[in-house]
């Protein structure tokens, strides 16, 4: 097998030099300030050894990568009842699309497009104050990443709140069909804040380990979810984790993955590794361009695709 440390070094060097860096998201003004030259990668293997390259210890806005963790929490609270509110089919539409929601009577296609993630957040919020729900999500991230220093970037959250007209429309639209239980402002407040959690590649790869190891954190033996649930979350990541770029990501990378408009991607090589990459420039579908390129090279060279070598 190729030497992982060597592969990561080579990928990091190449990514630092490439000129095709995509475009940084600017519909959340605070994200537009991030330097597109950043590139970070962290891989944690089955034994718990971390291999890192580039800006792997620089915190970035995890944005939609947080949706993997809110889905995990919501499934823990509601179990299969969750699937009454949200589907699990790829949308084939942009992450913030409204059009499908009208045809499908306010029930979002899957938990990773914005509408679906807002419905999931609403479920976590029910029976709590927004502050408590947010604390629950943040503590879950800190527990999984084994790092109590992880925080929310309040400037990013406020920036999205000021400009989140599209998400406000989605939430109101779902509310009109009874898919959202709580006041729309509360649900969106929690949603914007969990999207604004800031983490490094190393922290994110650590947090994703349970998905690579049948629901368990190998280092501690803690069971986060059952093996069956981990497998199913991975399936949804594979089919829906990159919106209308999910097919292309499966074709090129071949791993369950979840992207965010901050330029992060969490990818899971079952039984082998948890991987986080960060490159802020996005492609047309809103997924990290160089993050995808780096993962494609990594899985190809290591033979990690779930579809075979």
Query: Which residues are tagged catalytic?
Result: 64, 67, 191, 243, 261
**Site map (CB under 6 A) of ligand GLN, residues 208-237, x = contact:** ------------------------------
Binding mask 61-90 for ligand GLN (x = CB under 6 A): --xx--------------------------
The nearest distance, CB 166 to ligand GLN, in angstroms, is 7
Of 6-25, binders to ligand GLN (CB under 6 A) are none
The CB-of-300 to ligand GLN minimum distance in angstroms stands at 25
Instruction: Return the closest-CA partner of residue 51 out of 12, 21, 83.
Output: 12
Q: Report the residue number, 40 or 116, with the smaller CB distance to ligand GLN.
A: 116
**Is residue 110 part of the contact set for ligand GLN (CB under 6 A)?**
no
* Per-residue tokens: 160: 């999205």
Look at residue 1 and give its three-state secondary structure.
Answer: coil
Answer yes or no whether residue 153 interacts with ligand GLN by CB under 6 A: no
Among 115, 134, 157, 261, binds ligand GLN (CB under 6 A): 261
What span, in angstroms and rounded, lies between the C-alpha atoms of 301 and 309?
Answer: 9
Q: How far apart are CA 171 and CA 163, in angstroms?
A: 14
Subset of 175-204 contacting ligand GLN (CB under 6 A): 195
Q: What is the DSSP letter of 179?
A: -
Please name the residues in contact with 209: beta carbons below 8 A apart, sequence gap of 6 or more: 44, 48, 144, 217, 218, 219, 274
- The least distance separating ligand GLN from the CB of residue 228, rounded to whole angstroms, comes to 27
> Does residue 96 touch ligand GLN according to CB under 6 A?
yes
Number of residues that bind ligand GLN (CB under 6 A): 11
CB of 65 to ligand GLN, least distance (A): 7
DSSP 228-279: HHHHHHHHHHHHHTTGGGHHHHHHHT-S-EEE-TTSEEEEEETTTEEEEEE-
CA dist., res. 182 & res. 65, Å (int):
23
Closest by Cα among 276, 277, 262 to 196:
262
Q: Count H helices, E strands: the chain?
A: 13, 10
Q: Would you say 234 or 259 has its CB closer to ligand GLN? A: 259
Cβ distance to ligand GLN smaller for residue 11 or 282: 282
The residues that touch ligand GLN, with contacts defined as CB under 6 A, are: 63-64, 95-96, 114, 160, 167, 195, 260-261, 286
């Amino acid at each position: 097998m190729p030497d992982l440390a060597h592969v990561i070094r080579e990928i990091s060097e190449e990514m630092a030099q490439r000129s095709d860096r995509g475009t940084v998201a600017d519909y959340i003004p605070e994200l537009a300030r991030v330097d597109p030259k950043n590139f970070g990668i962290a891989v944690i293997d089955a034994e718990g050894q971390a291999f890192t390259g580039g800006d792997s210890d620089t915190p970035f806005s995890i944005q939609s990568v947080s949706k993997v963790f809110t889905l995990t929490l919501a499934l823990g609270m509601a179990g299969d009842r969750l699937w009454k509110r949200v589907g699990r089919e790829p949308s084939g539409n942009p992450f913030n699309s409204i059009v499908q929601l009208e045809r499908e009577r306010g029930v979002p296609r899957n938990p990773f497009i914005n509408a679906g993630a807002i419905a999931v957040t609403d479920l976590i919020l029910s029976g709590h104050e927004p502050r408590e729900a947010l604390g629950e999500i943040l503590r879950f991230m800190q527990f999984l990443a084994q790092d109590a220093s992880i925080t929310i970037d309040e400037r990013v959250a406020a920036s999205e709140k000021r400009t989140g007209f599209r998400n406000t429309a989605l939430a109101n639209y779902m509310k009109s069909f009874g898919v959202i239980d709580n006041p729309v402002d509360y649900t969106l407040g929690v949603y914007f804040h969990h999207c604004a959690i800031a983490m490094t590649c190393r922290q994110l790869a650590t947090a994703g380990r349970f998905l690579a190891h049948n629901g368990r954190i190998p280092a501690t033996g803690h069971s986060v979810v059952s093996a069956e649930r981990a497998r199913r979350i991975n399936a949804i990541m594979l089919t829906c984790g990159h919106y209308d770029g999910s097919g292309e990501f499966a074709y090129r990378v071949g791993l369950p993955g979840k992207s965010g408009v901050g330029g992060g991607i969490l990818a899971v090589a079952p039984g082998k590794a948890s991987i986080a990459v960060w490159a802020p420039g996005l492609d047309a579908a809103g997924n990290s361009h160089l993050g995808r390129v780096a993962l494609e090279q990594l899985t190809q060279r290591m033979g990690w695709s779930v579809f075979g070598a």
